Structure 1
């Protein structure tokens, strides 16, 4: 049976196009036993979370059990927010978060993106969490990984020397972790 992998894109005006290479890399590395589902997130600038939480919920609802969730950048932070603020009836086998920003500013636009205090205790039980961050990420500061490490000591953290924000569009490391679930 083919396993479904939901991939949530990063943000920005060309986020969907930029991350299409990541999704394709993941599909290639996983092979035919997996199906990478890559929906385009529509941005609603009037919504505090850009309308992505509702869309993420709809996409998760379409999947079968033992779901595998992968997300990049803004999408990774909003997937984590969604999972910590919403209950899903589906068992989550693994959550793979790439270049995940930790929103902690006071700017108005950022408030709908921030995780709630105690978010780690509200995540799905018995789910494995993996974080990936390149030291030379030009978009998300590398020290954001340490914030997640402090909040989620049971998660796995992959520190990558180089590859920038897009991990050189090569997700073989993520695919390896998915296959080892």
Structure 2
């Protein structure tokens, strides 16, 4: 029986198309024992969180009992927001894999709906392993964001990658290695 992965795209214009390459890399590295679901999220510009946490909740409600969650960039931060603010019922999450997750800070109004709550780590599922990945040369999300997550979520595993930019040079073999080890 194949293991199911739900992959949440990054944001921005063309984010879904751009991240197709990451999904293909992950699928190739994992092989035929894994099935990756990669639905396209739409952005509600009137919602402070673009409506992504709600869409993630809907997607999770449609999955099998056990799921592996992976997400890139804005999708990673919105997945973390969803998992820290809502209870996932009737699903076993085998692991959460977050690539280049922005840590939203600042007083700008547009960031309000994207920020995590102060003690978000206290409300995340306790029995689920969390993995964060960040390239030192990421041109979109500063490497310092990984350090912010490390301070807030010390129980997670953190993978620092020397180069690869924001899209990891479309090579998710390090992620595949961690998923395979679950």
Into which bin does the TM-score normalised by the smaller protein fall? over 0.9
1:5-24 matches, within 5 Å, as 5-24=5-24
TM-score by length of 2: 0.98
| Residue 135 of structure 1, CA deviation | 0.2
Say if 2:19 is the partner of 1:36: no
Give 3-state SS (helix, strand or coil) of 2:7's partner. Answer: strand
Measure the CA separation in 2 of the matches of 1:75 and 1:37.
Answer: 14
Measure the CA separation in 2 of the matches of 1:114 and 1:166.
Answer: 22
Say if 2:50 is the partner of 1:79: no
Output one character per residue of 1:85-106: Cα deviation in whole Å (capped at 9) or x when no partner: 0001112110000000000011
> Hey, what does 1:65 align to over in structure 2?
65
> Hey, what does 1:133 align to over in structure 2?
134
Output one character per residue of 1:148-170: Cα deviation in whole Å (capped at 9) or x when no partner: 01111110000000000000011
TM-score by length of 1: 0.99
Give 3-state SS (helix, strand or coil) of 1:19's partner. Answer: helix
RMSD, aligned α-carbons = 0.6
> Hey, what does 2:175 align to over in structure 1?
174
Measure the CA separation in 1 of the matches of 2:112 and 2:33.
Answer: 39
Q: What stretches of structure 1 of length at least 5 have no aligned partner? A: none
Measure the CA separation in 1 of the matches of 2:16 and 2:133.
Answer: 19
Report runs of 4+ in structure 1 exceeding 2 Å deviation. Answer: none
| Residue 69 of structure 1, CA deviation | 0.2
Measure the CA separation in 2 of the matches of 1:39 and 1:160.
Answer: 27
Number of residues of Structure 1 aligned to a counterpart in Structure 2: 181
> Hey, what does 2:98 align to over in structure 1?
97
Give 3-state SS (helix, strand or coil) of 1:46's partner. Answer: coil
> Hey, what does 1:25 align to over in structure 2?
25
